[in-house]
Structure formats: structure tokens, C-alpha cells
Structure 1
Amino acid sequence: MKIDDIPQDDSKTYHGHRKVIYGTRNGHYEAATSTGWQDEAYATEQAVADLDEQTEQARRAVLNGERSPLYYYMYRYRHDEASLAQVTGLWRWQVRRHFRPEIFAKLPLKTLEKYAQAFQIGIDDLRRPFDSNACLKNKPSDRHNRNNHD
């Protein structure tokens, strides 16, 4: 793409920031900035909507007693089994096993602390995500924005 053709669509997914994109000028690559691209913004919004739907399905599974709160938090904080296992230092099969409510209820404090630290939440919130408005506290998007602006 030529430098002059780099989109400047003021994407709301950029939150007022700019993104570096490489384009060509006189046959050589150069860095330029973009305020967004409608196609990229659409794809991002669709992906976020899909992730939100997965999170809602996980919430319902927890409320129905089919899965442990860990399952909900995994989706809420945009992890998958592999990344959650990696960040906690546990095996993937262990994480998957901890999705079972009867197993999760018996987890030692040390294991719960690993999960709570991974999500940057308290152990009580991890155990009861829907009781004390834990879902409203420490939203991933708030934490992400706070870290980027400090």
C-alpha cells in the first residue's frame, strides 16, 4: 500500500490513538500512522461481540451449576485453556478439571491464589463472581485502559 493510501477513518476501536502501518513511497517501505480503517474496525467489533457472547454463555453455565466460576473468568478476561494454564503455571488438563464445580470447590488456597492473581481479582470474587458485583469490579477493559494511561 502506498503511504498516501493508508486509511484515516477515525476508528473508535483505536480510542483516539494512532497505529503504525508500513507503506511504500518511491519503492521503499516507510512507517506512517493511521487513525483507523473501517474494515479493520468492523472485524474487531465482530470479534469482540463473539467474545462477549462466549462470556455470556460461560456465565449461564456457572449459574446453572454446570461449570465453576473459573470457567466464566477465563472467558471474561479473554483467556483460553492454554493461556490460563501458562499464566498460572498449571497444566492444561488441571485447568480443564478445575472447571468442574465439585473440583473447584475443593481447590487449595494456593491454587485459588494463582487464578486470582492471573485475573487480578480477590479470591472471594473468584469463588463467587455474581454475589458481590464482582463482575462489575476490575473490568478487563478498565484495567487495560488504566494501565495504558498511567
Structure 2
Amino acid sequence: MKQEEVPQDKSNLSSKNVRELCYATDKDGNYTTVLSEGWEPKTIALNNSIQDIEERIELAKADVKAGKTSPIVYFMELHKMDLIVLSDYVGMWKWRVKRHFKPSVFAKLNDKILNKYAEAFEVTVAQLKNYKGE
């Protein structure tokens, strides 16, 4: 891509003075770096990803409220984690973390285990225990 062809479409990030470094060729054919404010297809993909994340957060919130899952699932989605990432943060096997997704199992967790989750989610144990989906 030539320097003058580097996309400069406005994106969600451009309002925050964030630009992406791209490589392009100058008029002599040498590679150089150019700052881009965004690219429309990338902006669309980013917006779709953000929308998917927001939907998963709302679904997790509704499931906690309905008693289908524990608050761990909501906070995991809120912090854009998955099972693998969360299990690494808390230092537990994936199967064990997944088991804690069940409200009946979550209710029996001791404060030592809950503290690991609270630290990973940057909340207090009380906030984690008392979250009811509101």
C-alpha cells in the first residue's frame, strides 16, 4: 500500500486520539510508517465485537438474576474474560472454576476461594457474594 492510500476513516478510537501505525511504501518504493485514524471495515468489526460482549454481559446478568448461574459468570463477562483466562487468574483448574458457575456450589464457597475471584474481578468479597443481577 502506498503512503497516500493508508485509510484515514474515522473510528471509535479516533475520538481518543489513538492512531494505528501502518507500513506503506513512499514515492521511491521504500517502506515507511504512516499513522492511520481508522479503517471502516475494522471499525465495523470492532463495533460488532463490542456489541457481542455487551449482549453476553446482559445475558449473564439476567441468568444471575434468574438464579441460573453464579455471579462469577457475570463478572467474568464484564471483565472480558473466558474460562481459560479466569482459571489462570485464580489459579484453579478450568473444571473447578466451571463448577463454581453453579449457584448451589457458589453459595458454599469459603472466603479464601471467593477472595481469589474478588481479586481477579477487582471487587470485594461482599460485592461478589451479594451480586444478584441488578
Give the structure-1-normalised TM-score: 0.81
Structure 1 residue 36 displacement after superposition: 1.2
- Tell whether 2:55 aligns with 1:53: yes
- Tell whether 2:2 aligns with 1:5: no
Q: Is the 8 A contact 2:87 2:94 kept in 1?
A: yes
Structure 1 residue 79 displacement after superposition: 0.5
- Aligned-pair identity in percent equals 36
Q: Is the 8 A contact 1:13 1:44 kept in 2?
A: no
Q: What RMSD in Å do the two structures reach over aligned CA positions?
A: 1.6
> Whose Rg is larger?
2
Q: Structure 1 unaligned segments of length 5 or more: list them.
A: 134-150
- 2:45 aligns to what? 43
1:92-145 deviation line (CA, Å, top 9, x unaligned): 1111000001111111211111111111111111112247x7xxxxxxxxxxxx
Give the structure-2-normalised TM-score: 0.89
Q: Is the 8 A contact 2:13 2:19 kept in 1?
A: no
**Map of 1:15-94 to 2, 5 A cutoff?**
15-25=16-26, 26-94=28-96
Amino acid at match of 2:25: T
Distance 1:42 1:22 in 2: 22
| Higher RCO by CA contacts (8 Å cutoff, separation 6 or greater) | 2
Distance 1:54 1:129 in 2: 17
Distance 2:30 2:99 in 1: 53
With over 3 angstroms needed to count, the CA separation of the structure-2 counterparts of 1:27 and 1:87, relative to structure 1, is farther
**Higher deviation after alignment, 12-21 or 30-39:** 12-21
Distance 1:87 1:4 in 2: 44
SS at structure 1 position matched to 2:68: coil
**Map of 1:119-134 to 2, 5 A cutoff?**
119-130=121-132
Aligned structure 1 segments of 4 or more residues deviating by more than 6 angstroms: none
Kindly tell me the number of residue pairs found equivalent between the two proteins: 132
1:46-103 deviation line (CA, Å, top 9, x unaligned): 1100111111111111111010000111111100000101111111111100000111
SS at structure 1 position matched to 2:112: helix
**Higher deviation after alignment, 118-127 or 96-105:** 118-127
Q: Is the 8 A contact 2:71 2:128 kept in 1?
A: yes
